[in-house]
Amino acid sequence: MKRTLITGCTILTMCEGDAPFVGDLLIEGERIAAIGPELKLEQPADEVIAGKDLVAMPGLINAHNHASMSLLRAFSDDLKLMDWLDKKMLPAEARMTPEDVYWGTMLGTAEMIASGTTSFADMYVHMDQVAQAVVDSGMRASLTRGVVFLQDDGGKRMTEALHLIDTWTGAGEGRITTMLGPHAPYTCPPQPLSEIIQIARSRQIPLHIHLAETREEVVKIRERYNQTPTEYLHELGMFEDNHVLLAHAVHLDAADVRLLSGMRGGVAHNPVSNLKLGCGIAPVKEMLEQNITVGLGTDGAGSATTLDMFAEIKAATWLQKLQHGDPTLLPAWQVLRMATIESAKLLQIEDEVGTLEPGKKADLILLNLNKPHLQPVHDLSALIAYSATGADVDTTIVNGQVLMRGRQFTRFSWEELRREAAERAARLVEGL
Ligand SMILES: N[C@@H](CCSC[C@H]1O[C@@H](n2cnc3c(=O)[nH]cnc32)[C@H](O)[C@@H]1O)C(=O)O
Ligand SMILES: [Zn+2]
C-alpha cells in the first residue's frame, strides 16, 4: 500500500471546532492514516511532499454540474435561461456524440482538479462516457442521467438512467455513485415523475432534480398545475422519504421552505449561475433556519462559464450579506463548510470525505499561500473564502491518488485534451 507523507503544512480539517494547526498528514492507500503535529513513522513513506507554505484542506465538492457542457463554455452568454436552453444548448447537445461527451467531461474534470474540486454531482446524457471519464480522471462523482419528457414518453431515457445505476455504481474503486435524475418540474409531467419517485423509493436510489430556477418556471407550473414548483414535487411524494438533491431552489416562498424542512438531502446552491442568468437569490438564510442542508455547486460551464468553486464560495456569502443587509451572515467558516462537508451530505459521501480525519478517504487539496493576495495570514478561513481562487491550488489528491502536483496533471496529457476539446467544440456550435 502506497504511503504519502505531507510534512509541515497548515492543516484545516474543516471539522467543527478545529482551529488550523501546523502538522503532518499521512495517506495510506486510499485513506488518511494519521494527522498530527509531528508524526513519527516506523517505516519511511514512499513519497514525501514538503508542506511549507501549503494549506491542506478537504477537496471542494461541487454539488451540481453538467461537466460535459464545458465544451459549450462561453458559446452562449447573456441570454435568458429558457432561450439559452432551447435555442442554444439543446441544439448543440443534439449533435453531441458519446465521444464528445467523454472529452467534454474530461475537460470539466481537468478544470475541477486544477481548481481544487475532488467530487462532483453530474446530470447529463451519454452517461457511460461520463462515467468512463470519471474513472480516467481519478475524480469522485455522483452521476445521473437527466430524464426529460418532451414529445415522447421518455422511456429510452429511463432505460439509460437505470442502466447507469446498474452498471456504474461503485466503479472506479468506489469513486462513482449514482442517482436518478428527473430533470425539472417543467420537463417532467406528474405521471412519469411519480413513477420515478416510486422507483427511487423502492430501490433506495437518491434523486437529483433542478427546482425553481427561474420566475418563468414558477409561472409555467402555476399555469399547468396551480402550484409552486416545490408544492408540485411535494404533492407527488418526492420528499416523503427519498434522499433528494435539489439544484438551485431560487424561487421558494416561505411556505415552500417550510415544506422542505425535514427533507432528506437538501439544496445545491449555484449562486454564480443564478447571478449570471439573472435568476434571483436563493433563500439560503431561510433554508438554513429550517435546518435544510445547503451545499454549493457551479452548474455547467455552458451557463456559469467557470467551474471554480472558490467563485461560488464568494458569491454565496456576498449574496446573503447583500440580500439581508447583514455582513455577519454566512461567515467564512460556514461557507467553506458548505463547499465541503455540507455538499458531501448532498452526495451522501459525508462519512467518507468532506473533512480531514484519520480513516476518511484522502480527498484533499494543498493551497499555496506564498502569494501576495494570500499574505499575511490572520484568519485562515477568511483568507481562503474571500481571497483564494482555484489557481492557488497547488496539489489535488483524490482517493489517495495525486491528480495534480505543482499544477501539473498526473493522469492525462493536457495538450491532447485541449486539442480534442477545441475540435469537438467547434463542430458542435457551427452555424448555431
Ligand atoms: N437534454 C437531455 C436530458 C437532460 S440532461 C441535463 C440537461 O440539463 C440542461 N441544463 C444545464 N444547466 C441547466 C440549468 O441551469 N437549468 C436547466 N437545465 C439545465 C442541459 O442543457 C442538459 O440538456 C435529453 O434530451 O435527453
Ligand atoms: Zn443544472
Res 71: pLDDT:
98
Give the position, in ligand 1's atom list, of the atom nearest the Cα of 85: 21
CB 247 near ligand 1, within 6 Å? no
- Same CATH topology for 3-58+356-409 and 60-346: the answer is no
- Transcribe 202-241 into DSSP letters: HHT--EEEEES-SHHHHHHHHHHHSS-HHHHHHHTTTTSS
Ligand 2 centre distance from Cα of residue 300 (Å): 6
Give pLDDT, residue 28. Answer: 98
Model confidence, pTM: 0.98
Q: What is the pLDDT of residues 80-138, one digit of tens each?
A: 988 999 999 999 999 999 999 999 999 999 999 999 999 999 999 999 999 999 999 99
Q: Output the nine-digit C-alpha cell for 202.
A: 423502492
Instruction: State percent of the chain over pLDDT 90.
Output: 98
Pocket residue to mutate for ligand 1, from 85, 95, 272, most atoms within 8 A of Cβ: 85
**Res 152: pLDDT:** 81
Tell me how far apart the alpha carbons of residues 195 and 334 are, in angstroms, rounded to a whole number.
Answer: 37
Is 146 close to ligand 1, i.e. is its CB under 6 Å away?
yes
- pLDDT value of position 154: 83
Distances (CA, A) of 81 to 334, 345, 358: 30, 28, 44
pLDDT tens for each residue of 43-59: 999 999 999 999 999 99
Strands 47-50 and 408-409: unpaired
Ligand 1 site, residue 164, Cβ cutoff 6 A: no
Torsion, Cα of 288, 290, 293, 296 (10° steps)? -40
**Cell 453538467, residue located:** 66
For 60-346, CATH number out of 3.40.50.700, 3.40.50.1700, 3.20.20.140, 3.30.540.10 equals 3.20.20.140
- The confidence score (pLDDT) of residue 132 equals 98
Asked whether the predicted pLDDT for residue 158 surpasses 90, the reply is: yes
Point out the ligand nearest to the CA of residue 273. Answer: 1
Q: Please answer whether residues 395 and 54 qualify as being in contact, where contact means their C-beta atoms are separated by less than 8 angstroms.
A: yes
**Domain boundaries along the sequence of the chain:** 3-58+356-409, 60-346
What are 210-239's pLDDT values in tens digits? 999 999 999 999 999 999 999 999 999 999
Q: Which atom of ligand 1 is nearest to the CA of 248?
A: 15
Query: Among all ligands shown, which has an atom nearest to the Cα of 123?
Result: 1
> Would the pLDDT of 302 be above 90?
yes
At residue 150 the predicted structure's pLDDT band, cuts being 50, 70 and 90, is confident
CATH T-level fold of 3-58+356-409: Urease, subunit C; domain 1 (2.30.40)
- Ligand 1 centre and the CA of 86: distance in Å? 10
Task: Please state the residue numbers annotated as binding site for Zn(2+).
Answer: 64, 66, 210, 299
Which ligand 1 atom sits nearest the alpha carbon of residue 94? 25
CB-ligand 1 contact for 299 (6 Å cutoff)? yes
Q: What is the pLDDT of residue 111?
A: 98
Residue 167 predicted with pLDDT over 90: yes
Q: Which ligand is nearest to the CA of 274?
A: 1
Could you tell me how many helices (H) and strands (E) the chain has, helices first?
18, 18
Amino acid found at 217: E
Does residue 400 have a pLDDT over 90? Answer: yes
pLDDT-based confidence at residue 187 (cuts at 50, 70, 90): very high
| ipTM score over 0.90, yes or no | yes
**Cβ of 300 below 6 Å from ligand 1:** yes
